[in-house]
Amino acid sequence: MSNHRKGDSISEKSDEHTHTENASHTVASGSGKYKQNSKGNDKDDVANMQALTRKLENPLYDIEKSDLIKQAEQFADEHGLSEDKELFIKAAILAQNPKNFHDLEELSDEDKASLQHEIDHKWRQPYDLYFLAAASGMAAVVQGMDETVVSGAQLYYLPEFGIKNNDLLTGLVNGAPYLCCAVLGCWLTEPLNRWLGRRGTIFLSCTIAALASIWEAFTYSWPQLFAARYVFNLFGPFCS
């Protein structure tokens, strides 16, 4: 009887050991591997988490340099950029280890000097870049104000148009630009860019938006305001 119990105990321990080994498995992410154990080994968990964090911060960190160079060359060849292959190789190697660029043999002294100059003088950029950023920012402000300032305007136009207690019409008028963009505007993005080009599309979209904004100021009923706000985002590229 005692031997029978000992046999059962040994069998249970063996099953438990087998179950524990099966529970420990390897999850591959990129070329790195992270081992997860059901026993919850703290050191392993910390190491796994650190490796995963490094992978998320920089997907290139654990790729061998030779493989990275091959990937950069392949990318350049596949996209018809073979004449800039060396530039792509440098960019890939730099992206893998940007903080230690001074130690990268693939970069010339001129490359390293340029990178250090960017670090030391991060605000020394071309005037055109600042102008472009300011113009884009003002465009976003204008559109954002026109789309969201309506929240404050509700204090006046809801009673004026007789829809103060009608949540459905209030939401319809407020959401008209987004409704138009989802139903019609965004779908026009591709054909408009194909027919008019990027600049032509942006010019047309901004013109329509400007005219619709003026129209909104001269509405005398909620259907008119709804129509003006709907037309405001008629051309999706302005929003998207």
Residue 197: predicted pLDDT:
87
Residue 134: predicted pLDDT:
86
Q: pLDDT tens, position by position, for the chain (240 residues)?
A: 444 444 444 444 444 444 444 444 433 444 444 444 445 566 677 777 877 787 788 888 889 999 999 999 999 999 999 999 999 999 999 999 888 899 898 999 999 999 998 889 888 888 998 998 888 777 677 666 666 677 778 888 999 999 989 999 999 998 888 888 888 888 888 888 889 888 888 888 888 888 888 898 899 999 999 999 899 888 754 544
Residue 26: predicted pLDDT:
39
Residue 205: predicted pLDDT:
84
This prediction has a pTM of 0.44
3-state secondary structure the chain: CHHHHHHHHHHHHHHHHHHHHHHCEEEEECCEEEEECCCCCHHHHHHHHHHHHHHHHCCCCCCCHHHHHHHHHHHHHHCCCHHHHHHHHHHHHHHHCHHHHHHCCCCCHHHHHHHHHHHHCCCCCCHHHHHHHHHHHHHHHHHHHHHHCHHHHHHHHHHHHCCCCCHHHHHHHHCHHHHHHHHHHHHHHHHHHHHHHHHHHHHHHHHHHHHHHHHHCCCCCHHHHHHHHHHHCCCHHHCC
Residue 52: predicted pLDDT:
78
